[in-house]
Structure 1
Amino acid sequence: MSLDKKQVKEIAYLARLSIEDEELEQSTSELNNILSLMDDLNEIDTGDVEPMAHPLHMSQRLRDDEVTEENLAEEFQAIAPKIGKSHFLVPTVIE
């Protein structure tokens, strides 16, 4: 797959990126290089590779889950104009 300058400008607009005309040629070339690399990677047969959750065969050490702060939700919600069941209610504005 190859992109032209017009497509790169459209992608930049959708991504809310500002690409000046002087940068357009280089950006187009770089994006085409990335897409070419993705095409190369798609050609690799990974059918017999087992999916991994972590690149290294190791388990993650986790700390004990302990509550270290007291629950101040009622204090914080006491000054709120509207609350639900332990959450703030945000008024909706319909115009």
Structure 2
Amino acid sequence: MSVDLATVKRVAKLARIAVSDQEAEKMQGELNTILGFVEQLNEVDVSGVEPMTSVVSMEMKKRDDVVSDGNKADDIVANAPATEDHFFMVPKVVE
């Protein structure tokens, strides 16, 4: 895939970046180089290769999945101007 000057200017406009004609020509070459590299990566056979989470093999830290309410209801509504049974009270705005 090759990017032309009109595409570079359109992408710059969509990104709301002011690009001069000289900068657009430079970006055209850079974008074509990047797309060429991506095309090379698409040619690599990765079937049978598992995805990695890191370049270093490590076990992720996990915590026990325990349901708890945190016992913080009083702390959560402590600074509210009005509360009732651990709920925030707000003025009625819809009739």
TM-score w.r.t. structure 2 length? 0.64
Where structure 2 has 5 or more consecutive residues not aligned to the other structure, the ranges are: 64-71
- The Cα RMSD (Å) is 2.8
Q: Distance in 1 between matches of 2:23 and 2:80?
A: 51
Q: Distance in 2 between matches of 1:19 and 1:33?
A: 19
Q: Which amino acid aligns with 1:25?
A: E
- Deviating beyond 2 angstroms after TM superposition, the runs of 4 or more aligned structure 1 residues are 59-63, 70-79
State the partner residue of 2:59. 59
1:12: Cα distance to partner?
Answer: 0.9
Q: How many residues align?
A: 77
Q: Which amino acid aligns with 1:78?
A: P
Q: Distance in 2 between matches of 1:46 and 1:12?
A: 33
Q: Distance in 2 between matches of 1:77 and 1:19?
A: 50
Q: Which amino acid aligns with 1:45?
A: D
State the partner residue of 2:31. 31
Q: Which amino acid aligns with 1:12?
A: A
1:21: Cα distance to partner?
Answer: 1.6
Deviating more after overlay: 10-19 vs 29-38? 10-19
Where structure 1 has 5 or more consecutive residues not aligned to the other structure, the ranges are: 64-69, 80-84
- The structure with the greater share of residues assigned to strand is 2
- Provide closer, same or farther for how the CA distance between residues 53 and 74 of structure 1 changes in structure 2, counting only shifts above 3 A: same
Over residues 42-89 of structure 1, what are the superposed CA-to-partner deviations in whole Å (9 max), with x where a residue is unaligned? Answer: 0000011011222211124579xxxxxx8754354428xxxxx66x9x
- Provide closer, same or farther for how the CA distance between residues 19 and 75 of structure 1 changes in structure 2, counting only shifts above 3 A: farther
Q: Which amino acid aligns with 1:4?
A: D
